Chain A
Amino acid sequence: MTWIGIRILITLLLLVSQNLPAQNIIANAQVETTQLSKTSARAIFAMRAQEWPNGTPIKVFVLEDQNPIHSQFCKTILGMFPYQLRRIWDRQVFSGTGAAPEVVKSEQEMLDAVANTAGAIGYTDKEISHTNKRIKTIKVDL
């Protein structure tokens, strides 16, 4: 009985881990950067970095605060919680010292926005196919 219990538990854990999708930072294909440190990724998504090394303005897209994909992205890639990012953005927006990112409603909207906006950066839990010429994946050193 115990053995069956353990096997069920292991199966469930495997299921859960399979359901946790890999998070990828994505960017408009014109962006030259291919790799970011965690520090830089935090600075960009906190809206504290204004431009890419080549001078193109950075345009950040995120999903809504309570979207599970957003929450997962914050925790696994940035090592932060959604409420911390929200607090940073709100401080900047309501003291005039900075901005908040553009919020999109769905993953499809995210992909479209990143594909069509110069300097855009966002994230997805979908695999970006190699044939997609308008979106690139950016590696993050965790």
Chain B
Amino acid sequence: MKARLISILFCFSTSVLADNDQWYDNVVLHGFASQGYIYTTDNHFFGSSDNGSFEFTEVGINGSLRLNPKIRLSAQLLSRQAGRFDNGSPRLDYGLIDISLYSSPKYSSGLYIGRIKNEIGLYNETRDVAHTRSAIFLPQVIYFDKVRNTIMAADGMHFYNNVNFDSGALFMEVGAGYTLADENVEYAYMGNDWGGSIHNDKLGLFGKLLYEHNGGQWIYSITGTRVTLDFDASASDRAPLPLGPGLHSGEIAIDYTVLSAQYNGEKWQFTGEVAFENVDYIDIGGPVSQMHINSIGYYLQANYNFTPAWQGFVRYEEFQLDKHDWNGKKAAEQNIINSRQLAALGINQPPVPAHEYYSQSWVIGGRWHITQNLMLRTEYHIVDGVATLSPRENNVTDTTRKWDMFAMSLSYRF
């Protein structure tokens, strides 16, 4: 897919350009590189962070080529290392053709075709570019790193429509495409890496409505996606488990909606976002049928610009995996019952505790633009609950409920 897309882009570009221009004279290149350091008092986030981890590296390069005012090509290669989530192997982050159907100072519309970043919340589109984030880590209660690929980008087509009013600008976008599923998704939505596999052969839908009042002084948006993944159970998954039947093949249907609001003043910026996620398991059964993901995540952040180069922020964020079971109380009680039943069968499996089902944290931090392109950041998190951590990096029956995290990062872009 990657190779094909890139070769299409290049063939296209060489054939459309005028003879006197070499196509590469018109390519605009940009890139970024960022290295983070993470220390947690307990638990693991992006590597063995309780001993200090440097396993958070992001490097990217992109090129864009305007063939004429109507057609533009762009693509970005990304290498990301993030603990056990991402091993740094380079991949095509996006690669698209932007076709402008109509453009005037008042109104513009067009199509993106190819691999397109999804606009989920205010930050998903550029979430791996440190300079575009509001902090070292985007709030994990909305921008989950543990399932990033389901909503990150999709191969398909988007239609956009932008209108400029005197009071502000309205942006609309709808699209359909195939998402990029991976093992992280299996851990997050099925609690384990099962023998079977998850496929993305169903079209996902994406939508955005965003209004920027008075040049972006106020920004309001609603963004959402509906993604359906297929799970093919393997023979070992179908075998009965000690406490009931095994898994069947079926579907996981994920609905994700984010509401966002932001105020941008000269000194103060305030941002609030809330996300609702609902996951339906169709025909899979077994222990997965006991998973209830009907979550809510939200945060409020205040940023203050001491000078254009120095900025500080404070943020409160909360996540509840099941909004009908606040702080995981009912789930934890059920886990204790299951654990006792297993013990009666001679199987020792400690119960998953309540703090796996929620996360509440205060974050304080700051950044310094050393130059226009070089930035140093630091932040401190005080956390209760571990719902934003992945079972891939942590044993879910053996996590610490209250933990702190310190992080620093140095980021460059051009």
Contacts and interface: CB of A to CB of B under 8 A. Distances in A.
Contact of B126 (A66, A78, A84, A94): A94
A42 B94 contact: no
B64 A94 contact: no
B100 A39 contact: no
Interface string B99-110: 010011110100
Nearest to A96: B74
B384 to A, nearest CB: 32
B264 interface: yes
Interface string A54-77: 010100000011100001000000
A94 B103 contact: no
Contacts, number: 109
Interface in B231-288: 264-266
A94 B372 contact: no
A80 B216 contact: yes
A100 to B, nearest CB: 8
A21 interface: no
Give the interface centre of A44, A50, A71, A96 by most chain B CB atoms within 10 Å.
A96
Given A37-B166, A66-B309, A50 B215 contact: no
Given A40-B105, A91-B126, A93-B62, A79 B112 contact: no
B214 A79 contact: yes
B346 interface: no
Interface size class of B (residues with CB under 8 A): 35 or more
A71 B372 CA distance: 14
A86 B318 CA distance: 29
A90 interface: yes
Interface residues of A, number: 37
Interface string B108-141: 1000100011000000011001011000000000
Nearest to A40: B105
Given A90-B126, A97-B112, A99-B28, A39 B62 contact: no
A118 to B, nearest CB: 13
A104 to B, nearest CB: 13
B132 A78 contact: no
B216 A82 contact: no
A43 B308 contact: no
Contacts of B94: 95-96
A44 B106 CA distance: 11
Contacts of A90: 126, 129, 131-132, 413
A88 B166 contact: no
A42 B215 contact: yes
A81 B265 CA distance: 8
26 contacts: A39-B166, A39-B169, A43-B169, A44-B105, A50-B100, A51-B69, A51-B103, A53-B104, A55-B69, A57-B68, A78-B215, A79-B214, A80-B215, A81-B264, A83-B305, A90-B126, A90-B129, A91-B125, A94-B30, A94-B60, A94-B132, A95-B125, A96-B116, A97-B74, A97-B96, A97-B125
Name the 6 nearest CB pairs between A and B, nearest first: A96-B74, A40-B105, A95-B125, A94-B126, A80-B215, A51-B69
